[in-house]
Every structure is written in C-alpha cells, then in structure tokens.
Amino acid sequence: MTKRPSLTPIIEALPSTVPFVGPEAQQRTSGRAFRARIGANESSYGPSPKVIARMEEVAKDMWMYCDPDNYDLRVALAAHLGIGKDNVVIGEGIDGLLSLAVRMFVSPGDAVVTSLGAYPTFNFHVAGVGGRLVTVPYENDRESLDGLLEAVKRENAPLVYLSNPDNPMGTWWETDELIRFMDALPETTMLILDEAYGETAPAAALPPVDVNRLNLLRMRTFSKAYGLAGIRCGYAFADEEVIANVEKIRNHYGVSRMAQIAGLEALADQDYLATVVAKVAAARDRISAIARDNGLTPIPSATNFVTIDCGRDADFAMKVMQDMLAREVFIRKPMVPVLNRCIRVSVGLDHEIDIFGEELPRALAAARGN
C-alpha cells in the first residue's frame, strides 16, 4: 500500500513534538537512573498512608470499570468546596480538563491568550484545535494581569489562561488583584484559573469559591500536594451550565476506579495534607538557602518548587541544568527569553536536597569554565 488515510489539516500542520521530555526518557538515553528526581514538581512525600492502605485494599476490585459519574468524589469535593455536586467535574488531571475546555471554547483561528513561558501543555491543546496563541510576556517574574487583559480585549479572545500560583516561576497574585482582573474581563471571555499549586499557596492567593461567575472555570488537582501525580485525577468547578457542557464531551471512563477512590481518601485526610504543606515550605527554604550560598537568587515561591535566577544569560543556565543532569540530578528550567536565565528545582526528600546541595557548586563551576 502506498496511500494512507488523510489527516485533518490542523493535525497535518502540527510538528511531531510533545511538551515535555520526561525523566524516564532521559534515563533511557543516559542508561543511568537519577539520584535525585527534583524536576517534575511531584510530591516525593507521596500520598497519605491511609490512601496507600485503601488502594491496597481495593486493588482486587480493579476488574470493574470505574463509576462513569465519579459520583462519590464529586459529592465529597462539592462538600469540601461548599458548592453543589453539579458545579464539579472530574478529569484526568488538569491536563485532561484543559483539553476539554479548549475544545469547548476555541474554534479554528480563534485567539487564545496566555503568558509567554506559562504551562506548555495548555498551548499544546490550543494548537490541537487550530487556535491562534497570543502570548504576553511576564513582568517581574509574574504573569502580567494587565498585559493579559489588554491582549484579551485587543484580540476579542474567547479564552484566557492564568495559573496562580504560577508555573514555572512559582510566583503568585493575591485575591484583590485577581478579582480586579476577573471583574475587568469581557463577559464573553472564559478564564481558566489553574490552581494546581493552591494547597501550597498562602490563603490570600485563593479567591473565595464563587460559582456565580459565568466566565470562570477553576481547576485543581491531586497531583501536587496530595502526592498522587501518577493516578491522573483533577477537578474543575464552575457555574452548573459550564460544568454540564464539560460533561457533554469528557471521557466518562477516563478517571479510573483506583483514581476515584484514592482521590476520595486523600481529600478526607486533611491532617496529612497539612503535614506535607509544612514539609514543602521547609524544603523550599532549604533549596533557597543552597541557592544563596552559591551566589544565586531564589525567587519567592508559593509552589512545591523554587525557581533560581542564575544571574547570567540563558546559555549559562542551560549549562548548569545540563551539568546537573549529567550528575544524575533531574531538574528543569524555563525556556523562553528572560525566564530562561533560571533553573527550576522541585522540592524533594532530605537526601535529594543534600545531593542538590553537593552538586550545584560543581555544576556552577563547570558552567563558568572553572
């Protein structure tokens, strides 16, 4: 056979790329395992012991399909948030929910506004439906609320994306500024507010839950502070009609039975969550201290990572990251101009941070040519 079925023009035109090169792929290439896995913003502390015990208990039941309604988890999240269950939808992590939101609001050629250097998976989904990405540079290492607003109005954009706290810089806006931004948005523009790091943020960074804003779709996850990145379970909450429209197109069997049960158990153990949040804060302080001891500048963070200004240009920061990878320390870095002067280090276990502290001065020396 010499012919093959035709792709859609949108897919035909896309490059064959993925947003991330995972640590597994890097280990396969190098043939060596990382000694410190502190680059993917996971929680090395793992889930609550109660979650692990429950998952072990129900493993024998995985021959059954999941509940396609995600009913128990939706009810529990609704109670946790103080809203109705019909204001909540469950998805395969925030990544899966972003895909649904883009499909709902973006037609081919529509402008979609985000920050230059913000979470790249969102851009990946926009490209997949033929949207036209409009990016706004960061200001002082924070996403520019005024810049995003100006771009939305200029482009008549149906969708704008904002993460708070932010990835990859770890910075955040507080409630008063966020509400000012929301109030100024056109009613016809949907705001995706990605709060993946909400549990590690100060309370002032999380606006009160308000499902009466018809153009606000907030997303959270069990991947970060809850320590369940591997099960792919996130949720969104909004006005009932918005959620009903998500329900039209979501993969109803996409969130496994194990993920639903683990999420439910994790949500119930808020005491464990509090201990993890405290450990994250302490580890951020350790990473920041190591950076300062090496003459670098840590950027204040409300997430489970610290972005570190290497004090020179992008080439220098890239050399530092690559040398750390060669030393079997998995870290990442922002890749767009201005932000690319930095490296990004996820919170890890004590021994992983010890390794980071030992290897960073050697990587800096190598990058400087010493």
How far apart are alpha carbons 169 and 305 in whole angstroms?
Answer: 9
Interval 130-167: pLDDT, tens: 999 999 999 999 999 999 999 999 999 999 999 999 99
Q: Determine the pLDDT at residue 297.
A: 98
Residue 176 sits in the same domain as residue 277: no
pTM confidence score = 0.96
Q: Determine the pLDDT at residue 370.
A: 78
Residue 73 sits in the same domain as residue 134: yes
Q: Determine the pLDDT at residue 19.
A: 76
- Model confidence band, residue 16 (pLDDT cutoffs 50, 70, 90): confident
Backbone angles phi, psi at 306, to 5 degrees: -125, 125
Check whether 20 has a pLDDT greater than 90.
no
Q: Which of 205, 235, 268 is the last residue of a domain?
A: 268
Residue 55 sits in the same domain as residue 81: yes
**CATH number for the domain that contains residue 139:** 3.40.640.10
Q: Determine the pLDDT at residue 204.
A: 96
* Residue at 142 is within a domain: yes
Q: Which residue has the tokens 């009160």?
A: 208
- Count other C-beta atoms under 10 Å from residue 137's C-beta: 14
Average pLDDT, the chain: 97
> Do 139 and 91 form a contact (C-beta atoms < 8 A)?
no
Residue 203 sits in the same domain as residue 315: no
Structural domain that includes position 228:
49-268
The side-by-side arrangement of strands in the sheet containing 305-309 is: 297-298, 305-309, 342-346
Residue 74 sits in the same domain as residue 221: yes
**CATH number for the domain that contains residue 336:** 3.90.1150.10
Residue 255 sits in the same domain as residue 330: no
Interval 257-266: pLDDT, tens: 999 999 999 9
Point out the least confidently predicted range of 26-30, 166-170, 184-188, 244-248.
26-30
Check whether 290 has a pLDDT greater than 90.
yes
How far apart are alpha carbons 161 and 169 in whole angstroms?
Answer: 16
* Residue at 2 is within a domain: no
